[in-house]
Amino acid sequence: MSADKKLFIKTYGCQMNVYDSERMAEALGGKGYVQTDTPDDADMILLNTCHIREKAAEKVYSELGRFKGLKAANPDLKIGVAGCVAQAEGEEIIRRQPMVDLVVGPQSYHRLPAMDDTVRRGAKALDTDFPEDDKFDMLKKRKRASRAPTAFLTVQEGCDKFCAFCVVPYTRGAEVSRPSARVISEAHELVESGVKEITLLGQNVNAYHGHEGGLAGLIWELDKIDGLERIRFTTSHPNDMDDALIDAHGSCDKLMPYLHLPVQSGSDRILKAMNRKHTAESYIKLIERIRAARPDLLLSGDFIVGFPGETDEDFEDTMSLIREVNYGQAYSFKYSTRPGTPAAEKPQLPDDVAADRLQRLQALLKSQQIANQDAMVGGRVKVLFEKEGREAGQLIGKSEYLHAVYAEAPKEALGQVVEAKVVESSPNSLAGVCL
C-alpha cells in the first residue's frame, strides 16, 4: 500500500465524534493514510456524522453532493459515511448516493482497515452492526507524538434512558463502559505525549460502571497520574449523579469546577412526557447539593423548547427553573422530530410558537451568562494555554470554568497552567493579564 495516501475527515456534532475521528485516523494510519485539511486532494473522504440535529441525514446527502466533482475527477477517490447517521440510514445511503463506497456505524469503525481493502477491490462496504468485539481493544494504541495540552477520552458509550426525543439509544446502542484499567492506560499515554487536561466522554458518562467506584472511582484513579493537572467529564444525567461523584466535586482538586447537567425542561408534565424520570424539584435539590460541595461550580445545561404538548404554563415553568438555578452556560434548542422516537408521533407545536419561546429563553440564558462573566472581572482564574492568538504575544486557553481566556503571555506558557487576573468580559470569552 502507498505510504502517502491522504485522508480527509469532516466531523459533525459532539466531542465523542471528535474523539472517534481521531481513532478512525489512527486506524487508517496503518493502511498508509495521513490526514489532510482539504478534501481536494484526498484519497479517502470520511464524513463522521451526528444524528442529533434536525434533518441530519439530508444535510449529509447535501454534503455528499459537493464531492461529485472530486469523484468525477478522481475515480479512485473513496468516500465514506461514518457515525450516527450511518447507523440510522445504513444501506439507504448507498442507494441514494451510489458514489459512497463505505458506510460504517460508530461501534464498528475499528473495522475500517478491512473495509478499505474491500473498497479498494471495487466493492461496497457496509458495517452498521453492534459487534461483540470491543472496538477499543481492536484499535492500535495511540501514537505518542506530541499532542495539544487537552484531550478527549471516551469511557462510556450508549444510553439506556430512552428519552422520548432522542435517537442515541438507537444509533449508539445500550450503555457500555470501558474497563478502568484500559482507560487509565490510555490516560497515561496521553499525559506522556504532553496532555495536561483530559475530558472523560460518554453519552451518559456518569452512568459509567467500568470501575467498582463508578465514575467517581475512575476520577480518583486518574487523580493519581503525575502530570495530569485537570479532569472534566460530559455529558451527565441527573439520575446518575451519585453521592460519590458529588463528593469528588468537593474534594478532588484536579476535577474542574464545571458541570454540564442537562434538565431539558422545568415542567414536570413535560419531563414525564420526555421520559426523563426526574422532576424539576429533584433537579433543583440536586444542584443545591452539588453547589454545597463546590460553591464556585459553574453550571451548564441543555433545554428543549416547543416539545409536543408544551403549553405557555409549561414554558414559564422552564423559565422559572432557569431563574432559580442561574446558569453560567447553556445550550438550547427548538424541538425537532427524530424519526423512530416516541415524540415524533405526537402532534407538533406551531413553528412560530416554538421559535418565539426559544428566543425568550435564550435571552434569559444569555443575560445569566453575561452577569456571571461580568462578576469575574477583577478576580483570578487559572488558564491552561492551548494556542497562540491572532495578536502578537497573545495566547488563548481555557479557565477552570471552561471560559476561553485571551492574555498576553510568553510562548513558553503554551501547555502550562498560569494564573491570570480577569480584566474584561466579552460575550463568549474573558481577557486576562498573567500574574
pLDDT at position 409 is 93
pLDDT in tens, 366-386: 999 999 999 999 999 999 999
Comparing 242 with 20, which gets the higher pLDDT? 242
Q: Are strands 380-388 and 417-426 parallel, antiparallel or unpaired?
A: antiparallel
For the chain, percent of residues with pLDDT exceeding 70 = 94
Q: How confident is the model at residue 1 (pLDDT cuts 50, 70, 90)?
A: very low
Look at domain 141-256 and name its CATH class. Answer: alpha beta
- Per-residue pLDDT for 3 more than 70? no
Residues annotated within the binding site for [4Fe-4S] cluster are 14, 50, 84, 159, 163, 166
Going 71 to 75 to 76 to 82, the CA torsion angle's sign is positive
Degrees (nearest 5) of the Cα angle 205, 225, 292?
A: 55
pLDDT in tens, 25-50: 988 988 899 999 999 999 999 999 88
Comparing 23 with 425, which gets the higher pLDDT? 425
- Weakest-pLDDT range from 6-15, 37-46, 55-64, 132-141: 132-141
Residue 194 C-alpha cell reads as: 504532553
Look at domain 5-127 and name its CATH class. Answer: alpha beta
CA distance 155 to 115: 25
Comparing 17 with 318, which gets the higher pLDDT? 318
pLDDT in tens, 162-172: 999 998 888 88
Nearest Cα residue to 377 out of 432, 311, 315: 432
pLDDT at position 139 is 59
- Per-residue pLDDT for 291 more than 90? yes
pLDDT at position 50 is 83
pLDDT in tens, 320-351: 999 999 999 999 999 988 878 999 999 999 99
- Per-residue pLDDT for 52 more than 70? no
Comparing 305 with 12, which gets the higher pLDDT? 305
Nearest Cα residue to 44 out of 22, 70, 12, 19: 70
CA distance 133 to 151: 25
pLDDT in tens, 114-129: 999 999 999 999 988 7
CA distance 129 to 139: 17
Q: How confident is the model at residue 412 (pLDDT cuts 50, 70, 90)?
A: very high
Average pLDDT, the chain: 92
- Per-residue pLDDT for 303 more than 60? yes
Residues annotated within the binding site are 14, 50, 84, 159, 163, 166
Q: How confident is the model at residue 141 (pLDDT cuts 50, 70, 90)?
A: low
Degrees (nearest 5) of the Cα angle 31, 202, 209?
A: 110
**Is-contact 406 349, C-beta < 8 A?**
no
Q: Tell me, which fold does domain 380-434 have in CATH?
A: OB fold (Dihydrolipoamide Acetyltransferase, E2P) (2.40.50)
- Per-residue pLDDT for 219 more than 60? yes
Domain boundaries, the chain: 5-127, 141-256, 380-434
pLDDT at position 174 is 86
Listed in sequence order, the residues at least 6 apart from 427 whose beta carbon sits closer than 8 Å to its beta carbon are 366, 370
